[in-house]
Amino acid sequence: MSSEKIVEYLSCEISNYLEDIENNISLDHDIFVCRKDGVCLFKELSENVNAQTVGALVAGMWQAAESVNSINTISVNEYMLQFSTSQQGVMVYPLYLEDEIFLLTTLFGEELNPGKLKNSCRKLRDQLVNNYTDYQQMRPKEISNEKKKQEFLFSNISDKEIDQLFSFAGS
Protein backbone atom coordinates (compact mmCIF):
# COMPACT_ATOMS: atom_id res chain seq x y z
CA MET A 1 0.00 0.00 0.00
CA SER A 2 1.24 3.45 -0.81
CA SER A 3 2.37 5.97 1.79
CA GLU A 4 -0.62 8.16 0.89
CA LYS A 5 -3.05 5.39 1.85
CA ILE A 6 -1.21 4.71 5.11
CA VAL A 7 -1.29 8.43 5.92
CA GLU A 8 -5.01 8.53 5.09
CA TYR A 9 -5.64 5.51 7.30
CA LEU A 10 -3.62 6.89 10.23
CA SER A 11 -5.23 10.31 9.99
CA CYS A 12 -8.76 8.93 10.02
CA GLU A 13 -8.20 6.36 12.77
CA ILE A 14 -6.24 8.62 15.12
CA SER A 15 -8.68 11.53 14.71
CA ASN A 16 -11.61 9.23 15.50
CA TYR A 17 -9.81 7.80 18.52
CA LEU A 18 -8.93 11.23 19.87
CA GLU A 19 -12.55 12.30 19.58
CA ASP A 20 -13.63 9.19 21.51
CA ILE A 21 -11.18 9.68 24.39
CA GLU A 22 -11.41 13.47 24.59
CA ASN A 23 -13.49 13.41 27.76
CA ASN A 24 -11.45 10.69 29.48
CA ILE A 25 -7.99 12.25 29.54
CA SER A 26 -6.58 15.72 29.41
CA LEU A 27 -5.54 16.67 25.90
CA ASP A 28 -2.50 18.70 26.87
CA HIS A 29 -0.32 16.56 24.64
CA ASP A 30 0.93 16.29 21.10
CA ILE A 31 0.60 13.14 19.05
CA PHE A 32 2.23 12.16 15.81
CA VAL A 33 3.34 9.19 13.75
CA CYS A 34 6.60 9.07 11.86
CA ARG A 35 8.48 6.52 9.84
CA LYS A 36 11.59 4.95 11.28
CA ASP A 37 13.66 7.48 9.33
CA GLY A 38 11.86 10.36 11.09
CA VAL A 39 9.55 11.50 8.28
CA CYS A 40 6.29 12.64 9.87
CA LEU A 41 3.14 10.99 8.46
CA PHE A 42 0.51 12.27 10.89
CA LYS A 43 0.63 15.14 13.36
CA GLU A 44 -1.61 16.80 15.84
CA LEU A 45 0.92 19.14 17.35
CA SER A 46 1.03 22.45 19.15
CA GLU A 47 2.12 25.40 17.04
CA ASN A 48 5.49 25.62 18.74
CA VAL A 49 6.39 21.97 17.93
CA ASN A 50 8.23 21.32 14.66
CA ALA A 51 7.18 17.91 13.33
CA GLN A 52 10.33 17.40 11.26
CA THR A 53 12.62 18.10 14.18
CA VAL A 54 10.67 15.94 16.61
CA GLY A 55 10.37 13.15 14.03
CA ALA A 56 14.12 13.08 13.48
CA LEU A 57 14.82 13.14 17.23
CA VAL A 58 12.30 10.40 18.00
CA ALA A 59 13.61 8.19 15.20
CA GLY A 60 17.17 8.66 16.46
CA MET A 61 16.10 7.98 20.03
CA TRP A 62 14.27 4.81 18.91
CA GLN A 63 17.24 3.53 16.93
CA ALA A 64 19.60 4.27 19.82
CA ALA A 65 17.32 2.39 22.23
CA GLU A 66 17.21 -0.58 19.82
CA SER A 67 21.01 -0.61 19.69
CA VAL A 68 21.36 -0.47 23.45
CA ASN A 69 18.73 -3.17 23.83
CA SER A 70 20.55 -5.47 21.39
CA ILE A 71 23.06 -6.02 24.20
CA ASN A 72 20.27 -7.65 26.19
CA THR A 73 20.19 -11.41 25.64
CA ILE A 74 16.49 -11.71 26.45
CA SER A 75 14.33 -11.25 23.38
CA VAL A 76 10.99 -9.49 23.79
CA ASN A 77 8.66 -8.94 20.85
CA GLU A 78 6.97 -5.77 22.03
CA TYR A 79 8.69 -2.62 23.20
CA MET A 80 7.75 0.93 24.00
CA LEU A 81 10.01 3.81 24.81
CA GLN A 82 9.20 6.24 27.60
CA PHE A 83 11.18 9.15 28.93
CA SER A 84 9.16 11.04 31.49
CA THR A 85 8.56 12.37 34.95
CA SER A 86 5.27 11.90 36.71
CA GLN A 87 3.80 14.89 34.83
CA GLN A 88 5.58 15.33 31.50
CA GLY A 89 7.53 13.38 28.95
CA VAL A 90 7.48 11.40 25.74
CA MET A 91 6.10 7.93 24.94
CA VAL A 92 6.89 6.07 21.73
CA TYR A 93 5.08 2.92 20.60
CA PRO A 94 5.97 0.97 17.47
CA LEU A 95 3.26 0.36 14.88
CA TYR A 96 3.92 -2.61 12.61
CA LEU A 97 2.03 -1.98 9.36
CA GLU A 98 2.91 -3.47 5.98
CA ASP A 99 6.19 -4.94 7.27
CA GLU A 100 7.32 -1.46 8.26
CA ILE A 101 7.75 0.14 11.64
CA PHE A 102 6.05 3.45 12.29
CA LEU A 103 6.54 5.31 15.56
CA LEU A 104 3.43 6.48 17.40
CA THR A 105 4.66 9.27 19.64
CA THR A 106 2.97 11.27 22.37
CA LEU A 107 4.56 14.33 23.96
CA PHE A 108 2.78 15.34 27.14
CA GLY A 109 3.06 18.02 29.77
CA GLU A 110 1.24 18.70 33.01
CA GLU A 111 -0.58 15.39 32.77
CA LEU A 112 -2.47 14.58 35.96
CA ASN A 113 -2.67 10.88 35.22
CA PRO A 114 0.19 9.74 32.93
CA GLY A 115 -0.69 6.09 33.58
CA LYS A 116 -4.10 6.65 32.04
CA LEU A 117 -2.50 8.44 29.09
CA LYS A 118 -0.04 5.56 28.67
CA ASN A 119 -2.93 3.09 28.63
CA SER A 120 -4.81 5.24 26.08
CA CYS A 121 -1.73 5.34 23.84
CA ARG A 122 -1.35 1.58 24.08
CA LYS A 123 -5.03 1.12 23.19
CA LEU A 124 -4.62 3.49 20.25
CA ARG A 125 -1.60 1.51 19.02
CA ASP A 126 -3.53 -1.76 19.33
CA GLN A 127 -6.56 -0.29 17.57
CA LEU A 128 -4.43 1.04 14.71
CA VAL A 129 -2.77 -2.34 14.18
CA ASN A 130 -5.97 -4.38 14.53
CA ASN A 131 -8.11 -2.12 12.34
CA TYR A 132 -5.44 -2.00 9.67
CA THR A 133 -6.21 -5.61 8.76
CA ASP A 134 -9.86 -4.67 8.21
CA TYR A 135 -8.79 -1.61 6.23
CA GLN A 136 -6.60 -3.75 3.98
CA GLN A 137 -9.44 -6.20 3.36
CA MET A 138 -11.60 -3.32 2.13
CA ARG A 139 -8.85 -2.08 -0.20
CA PRO A 140 -9.05 -4.91 -2.78
CA LYS A 141 -12.69 -3.92 -3.42
CA GLU A 142 -11.58 -0.37 -4.13
CA ILE A 143 -8.81 -1.63 -6.41
CA SER A 144 -11.23 -3.86 -8.35
CA ASN A 145 -13.58 -0.88 -8.76
CA GLU A 146 -10.66 1.17 -10.09
CA LYS A 147 -9.87 -1.62 -12.56
CA LYS A 148 -13.48 -1.64 -13.73
CA LYS A 149 -13.26 2.10 -14.38
CA GLN A 150 -10.19 1.52 -16.53
CA GLU A 151 -11.89 -1.12 -18.68
CA PHE A 152 -13.26 -0.17 -22.07
CA LEU A 153 -16.63 1.54 -22.16
CA PHE A 154 -17.82 -0.83 -24.88
CA SER A 155 -16.67 -4.42 -25.01
CA ASN A 156 -17.08 -6.82 -27.90
CA ILE A 157 -17.77 -4.06 -30.41
CA SER A 158 -16.72 -4.59 -33.99
CA ASP A 159 -14.92 -2.15 -36.28
CA LYS A 160 -18.04 -1.97 -38.44
CA GLU A 161 -20.14 -0.87 -35.44
CA ILE A 162 -17.59 1.81 -34.55
CA ASP A 163 -17.61 3.03 -38.17
CA GLN A 164 -21.39 3.27 -38.00
CA LEU A 165 -21.21 5.28 -34.76
CA PHE A 166 -18.93 7.87 -36.32
CA SER A 167 -20.27 7.78 -39.89
CA PHE A 168 -22.18 11.01 -39.40
CA ALA A 169 -18.89 12.92 -39.11
CA GLY A 170 -17.76 11.90 -42.58
CA SER A 171 -20.96 12.98 -44.36
* pTM for this prediction: 0.69
Q: What is the pLDDT of residue 152?
A: 59
CA distances from 39 to 18, 138, 165 (A): 22, 27, 53
Closest CA to 81 of 56, 98, 64: 64
Q: Where on the phi/psi map is residue 44: left (φ > 0), alpha (ψ -120 to 50), or beta?
A: beta
Say yes or no: domain 3-149 is CATH 3.40.190.10. no
Beta-carbon contacts of 75 under 8 Å, excluding residues fewer than 6 positions away, are: none
How does residue 61 score in pLDDT terms, banded at 50, 70 and 90?
very high
Using CB atoms within 10 Å of the CB of residue 39, give its burial: 0 to 12 exposed, 13 to 18 middle, 19+ buried.
Answer: middle
Ordered by start, the domain boundaries in the chain are 3-149
Q: Per-residue pLDDT tens for 4-55?
A: 777 777 877 887 777 665 555 555 678 889 999 999 888 887 888 888 999 9
Q: Per-residue pLDDT tens for 132-161?
A: 877 777 765 554 555 555 555 666 777 787
Residue 106, CB-side half-sphere exposure with 13 Å CA sphere: 27
